[in-house]
Structure 1
Amino acid sequence: MTVSTQPEIMLTGRKVLVTGGARGLGEAFARALVAAGASVVISDVLHERGEALARELGQQVFYVPMDLSDAAAIKAGVDAAAKHLGGLDGLINNGAITNSGGKVMGDIAVDTWDRVMDVNVRGTWLTTVAAQPHLAASGFGRVVNLASDTALWGATNLMAYVASKGAVMAMTRAMARELGPQGTTVNAIAPGLTLVEATEYVPQVRHDHYRNGRAIERAQVPEDLTAAVMFLLSRGSGYITGQVLPVNGGFVMN
């Protein structure tokens, strides 16, 4: 099946930072943003890939290094992004790691657990904190957090990641209440298992479990998520905040 990449929502003139933007879902979001007319900063720890993608996508796209486990690097990266773009209207908190895949909870090393929480939870929190003044100054603040439907159905052998994405969902609601008075919305999408480089290690049985359990019975690809993210960054989503939207072909339904 061919999935259209034609933008249905235009974001002309919007200024958006995408964390973890060098590959996978982040790359798909960056490409969709450019197609929709936005200016974009890609941040990542994959420097060569991030720089190459920024060059490919054109003059309105920049790359800044950002390690989501490093508080100082986050603040510097967000401020650099705002400087490149002349402000920030939107933030996509996409950067994350898995690390604990394939292990039951009793076999996960404590330092692995801490690393996942540092990047996925603390990184999302600190990136949003650093972006908050820029988003408020724009008068049009939009934050989209990347959660996961694994936290909605309780995926096994993935405890640290599942816990981190459950925390992202909870933070989304708390952030929405704190940032709402300044006019910034905060929402999350919860993707299902998506065909990207980061999921190549996932056993075929898990891919089959997802595909067979979906109301729309096919593999999920990055382009299945971009329209939802573009909408949550748009003017039309201005009265939607604190929500978690599963985008998974009906594997999990709210």
Structure 2
Amino acid sequence: MSALEGRTILVTGAARGVGRAIAHACTEAGARVIVADILEEQGRATSAELLSRFVKLDLGDPQGIAACAADIARHEGELHGLVNNAAIATGIGGPEFDAIEIGTWDRVMSVNVRGTWLMTRECAPMLAANGTGRVVNLASDTALWGAPRLLAYVASKGAVISMTRSLAREMGPRGIGVTAVAPGILRNEATEYVPPERHALYENGRAAPGAMVPEDIAPTVVFLLTPGALAVTGQVLPVNNGFVFT
């Protein structure tokens, strides 16, 4: 039996990059995957690849988040796993803390922090109903080592890590496990703008040196979505080839 056989999994930000890799890995593990993303054309393309369903989602819109969860309840009737992957990453190697615009800060927080909370809140009743619900939050190892010139993103992912721990305690009595995965910088279309020296910092500083791609993150997420992963609830797992140890 495949690891996720018979389980329905919602992956946000699944149109491309890490989310797409996770959606593919979950499908290969036997899950029925729902692709959610603000990028409609790319999201529909990914869902077509997986023979799955697409739901448009803007994590900056609370009403849209509620509508997404309602759509899943109406069409799927159940949900076993939520992967909170969608996020805004701004300016890696960009402005220092005193040059960040307030509008940028607020947008990052509304999507990465408030959006993760609201998505979890709206999906919680479905996740609790089956007794083996799992939430996997995509954090970042930038919040573990304090990456410079990226403060809004680092602060938002630090909040996601703290939220993961608190949610694990609140949702555990309902049978829901909540964990976080903290990747390092990956080589994909979402990081093409990252300065070469920042890529080199990561790739040369890893215990197992070299580049990482979205497919390197997906197997860990698949495990955390399984019924047996409750034993590691509340934990934050750096998946970065040993750039940061915890």
Q: TM-score, with normalisation over the residues of structure 1?
A: 0.94
Pairing partner for 1:228 from 220, 224, 228:
220
CA-to-aligned-CA distance 1:3-48 (integer Å, 9 cap, x gap): xxxxx96211110100111000000011001111100111111001
CA contact 1:39–1:85 (8 Å) conserved in 2: no
Residue 52 (structure 1) aligns with: 45
**3-state DSSP of counterpart to 1:239:** helix
Give the gaps of 5 or more residues in structure 2: none
Do residues 71 (structure 1) and 62 (structure 2) align? yes
Residue 133 (structure 1) aligns with: 125
Pairing partner for 2:75 from 67, 76, 84:
84
1:210-221 alignment, distance < 5 Å: 210-221=202-213
> Aligned letter for 1:75?
A
The range that moved more, 137-146 or 92-101, is: 92-101
Q: Which runs of 4+ in 1 moved over 4 A?
A: none
Residue 103 (structure 2) aligns with: 111
**3-state DSSP of counterpart to 2:162:** helix
How many angstroms apart in 1 are the aligned matches of 2:237 and 2:2? 18
Residue 99 (structure 1) aligns with: 90
**3-state DSSP of counterpart to 1:96:** coil
> Aligned letter for 2:123?
A
Give the gaps of 5 or more residues in structure 1: 1-7
Do residues 180 (structure 1) and 172 (structure 2) align? yes
Between Structure 1 and Structure 2, how many residues are aligned? 245
TM-superposed deviation, 1:81: 2.2
> Aligned letter for 2:43?
G
Pairing partner for 1:121 from 99, 108, 113:
113
The sequence identity of aligned pairs, in percent, is: 56
How many angstroms apart in 1 are the aligned matches of 2:31 and 2:240? 26
Pairing partner for 1:17 from 6, 10, 13:
10
Q: TM-score, with normalisation over the residues of structure 2?
A: 0.97
How many angstroms apart in 1 are the aligned matches of 2:2 and 2:222? 7
CA RMSD of superposed structures (Å): 1.2
